[in-house]
RNA sequence: GCCGGGAUGGCAGAGCGGUAAUGCGCCGGUUUUGAGGACCGGUGGCCCUACGGCCACAAGGGUUCGAAUCCCUUUCCCGGCGCCA
């Protein structure tokens, strides 16, 4: 949510962002609605003021046992007048709110201009691609040959779902535990949130375009399966006011993520890359505005370190304006190297600044007496197991079609050094 | 799922038809060499340049001249019963 003051006093700033994001948005309409609402508010407030005055008069007279018939008559007339005005303002208020909530976040100055992910700018590269001296296989080929995946899920559940079996299922949990251990050691608090949220809360946590098209709803309830643990974790603090010494809040969230991924076609649709259900370990920080950069960098480093120890080559890009999610002010994607030589997104680190906090009404007490300000919320993937497993399998494959397990996680895999056929 | 009780500011907690006490915490001021203490003031949101006004007692409706207070619906919390991994 953008402060209403910015919409009123600095519409050019918003126009700029919208142009940069290549977003169509009826800003003029929103400003007009706001103006109308303010006008109507004044009218309603004045009427209520008059009503309150007469009301007090009645209260006084009644106490003294005096006649109040005339005042009561007056009140009845005012009530009708007020009701009409109140209906009017309610209507404008709703329209105004809906548009306002839909306005995307302002962009951080660091965000480069561009349309699609093609325009993202590389910031960093780590690791050298392995020189394979044999014909490499994709992760799906490897997994099928090792009998650690079953595609029967397509038939019984649907496209985009898999059974992970034996060492692959184990690897999934190993990666989660590995990430949890590393982060809790750094002072992050472990959270397993509910895997469903009410629509009402969900809409505050994020800016979903087409709710019913993007999210899985749970039949006969008003709940939706979460797309990431980020959403239920920030929603945990809805309407909270932090005391200044309570910040920052650092969380490691674990949960499965459910995404319809409607409208994605083509390459990499098969296999672990784009699944409708996957497990993810997430980092989330709630902090004071002045610490944004510090914690943004901290989470970035955490995610990179986790993957460095897994010996998976990666590169970091800053998302261009058109590829930055509506809710975010700035996003860094970390892309893992895959066997076809391409780097693909596996980690996404973002700051929403106070955009999300405004939607959820999360504040903190500042130094000066009773002065409250919105907190900043930042979030980043630590490990999305499906994509990290994919990269791990492809980068650590052997001539024999086996998969070497990186040393850091061997202890989580019953000290196995390889995944091989039984 | 059924029956009963409840939801009030950062926290605790009164009010139970006449328009939100009080305590703690926090911020500022006075006093003090300083700290502490004592005292005074401030500590929800919105509109307004300001003066000032409006709203807010879980959410939404209703009754009433007037609702935190009475009624209905919903959500959540606490008991008791039931069901259950």
Interface predicted TM-score (ipTM)? 0.91
- What's the rounded Cα separation, in Å, for the pair A154 and A147? 16
Per-residue tokens: A139: 């992760």
pLDDT digits (tens, 9 = 90+) for A97-120: 999 999 999 999 999 999 999 999
Which nucleotide is at minimal CA–C1' distance from A47?
B54
Q: What pairing do the DSSP bridges indicate for beta strands A223-225 and A372-374?
A: unpaired
State residue A263's pLDDT score: 67
State residue A208's pLDDT score: 80
State residue A328's pLDDT score: 97
pLDDT band at A243 (very low <50, low <70, confident <90, very high): confident
State residue A245's pLDDT score: 83
Which of A40-49, A93-102, A208-217, A347-356 shows the lowest mean pLDDT across its residues? A208-217
pLDDT digits (tens, 9 = 90+) for A167-217: 999 999 999 999 999 999 999 999 999 999 999 999 999 988 777 788 999
Q: What is the pTM of this model?
A: 0.94
Strand B contacted by A198 CB (< 7 A): no
CA distances in angstroms from A388 to A97, A107, A138, A257, A312, listed in the order given: 40, 29, 14, 15, 9
- At the topology level, CATH places domain A4-102 in Helix Hairpins (1.10.287)
- If DSSP codes are grouped into helix, strand and coil, which group holds residue A396? coil
Which of A107-111, A213-217, A298-302, A398-402 shows the lowest mean pLDDT across its residues? A213-217
pLDDT at A127 over 80: yes
State residue A18's pLDDT score: 96
pLDDT at A267 over 80: no
Q: Which nucleotides of B are covered by protein (CB under 7 A)?
A: 9-10, 18-19, 25-28, 41-48, 52-55, 65-66
State residue A63's pLDDT score: 80
**Mean pLDDT (whole number) for A260-283:** 85
- What's the rounded Cα separation, in Å, for the pair A75 and A58? 10
Which of A22-36, A42-56, A125-139, A255-269 shows the lowest mean pLDDT across its residues? A255-269
Mean pLDDT rounded to a whole number for chain A: 93
Which nucleotide is at minimal CA–C1' distance from A3?
B46
Nucleotide B25's nearest residue (CA vs C1') is A243
The DSSP secondary structure of A292-320, one letter per residue, reads HHHHHHHHHHHHHHHHHHTT--EEEEEPP
What count of Cα atoms within 13 Å lies in the side-chain half-sphere of residue A214? 13
pLDDT at A29 over 80: yes
Per-residue tokens: A368: 């000066």
State residue A266's pLDDT score: 66
State residue A369's pLDDT score: 53
Closest CA to A105 of A374, A382, A417, A368: A374
State residue A265's pLDDT score: 66
C-beta within 7 A of nucleic chain B, residues 330-369 of A? 365, 367-369
So where are chain A's domains? 4-102, 117-419
- At the topology level, CATH places domain A117-419 in BirA Bifunctional Protein; domain 2 (3.30.930)
């Amino acid at each position: 949510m953008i402060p209403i003051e910015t919409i009123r006093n600095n519409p050019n700033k918003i126009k700029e962002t919208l142009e940069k994001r290549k977003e169509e948005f009826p800003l003029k309409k929103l400003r007009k609605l706001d103006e109308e609402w303010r006008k109507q508010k004044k009218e309603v407030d004045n009427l209520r003021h008059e009503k309150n005055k007469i009301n007090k008069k009645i209260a006084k007279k009644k106490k003294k046992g005096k006649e109040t018939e005339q005042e009561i008559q007056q009140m009845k007339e005012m009530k009708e007048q007020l009701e009409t005005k109140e209906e009017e303002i309610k209507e404008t208020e709703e329209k105004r709110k809906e548009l306002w909530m839909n306005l995307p976040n302002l962009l951080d100055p660091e965000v480069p201009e561009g349309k699609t992910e093609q325009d993202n700018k590389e910031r960093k590269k780590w690791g050298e691609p392995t020189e394979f001296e044999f014909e490499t296989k994709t992760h799906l080929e490897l997994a099928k040959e090792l009998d650690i995946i079953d595609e029967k899920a397509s038939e019984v559940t649907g496209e985009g779902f898999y059974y992970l079996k034996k060492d692959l299922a184990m690897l999934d949990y190993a990666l989660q535990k590995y990430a949890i251990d590393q982060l809790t050691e750094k002072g992050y608090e472990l959270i397993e949130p509910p895997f469903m949220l009410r629509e009402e809360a969900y809409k505050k946590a994020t800016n979903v375009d087409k709710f019913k098209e993007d999210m899985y709803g749970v039949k006969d309830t008003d709940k939706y399966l979460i797309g990431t643990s980020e959403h239920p974790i920030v929603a945990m603090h809805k309407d909270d006011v932090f005391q200044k010494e309570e910040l920052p809040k650092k969380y490691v969230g674990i949960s499965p993520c459910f995404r319809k991924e409607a409208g994605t076609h083509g390459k990499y649709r098969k296999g672990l890359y784009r699944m409708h259900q996957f497990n993810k370990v997430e980092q989330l920080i709630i902090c004071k505005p002045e610490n944004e950069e510090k914690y943004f960098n901290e989470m970035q480093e955490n995610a990179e370190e986790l993957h460095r120890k897994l010996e998976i080559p990666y590169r970091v890009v800053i998302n261009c304006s058109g590829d930055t999610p509506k809710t975010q002010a700035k996003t860094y994607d970390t892309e893992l190297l895959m066997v076809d030589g391409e780097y693909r997104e596996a980690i996404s680190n973002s700051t929403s600044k106070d955009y999300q906090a405004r939607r959820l009404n999360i504040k903190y007490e500042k130094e000066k007496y009773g002065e409250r300000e919105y907190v900043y919320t930042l979030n980043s993937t630590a490990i999305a197991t499906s994509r990290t497993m994919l990269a791990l399998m492809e980068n650590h494959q052997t001539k024999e079609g086996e998969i070497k397990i990186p040393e850091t996680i061997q202890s989580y895999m019953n000290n196995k050094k390889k995944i091989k056929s039984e």
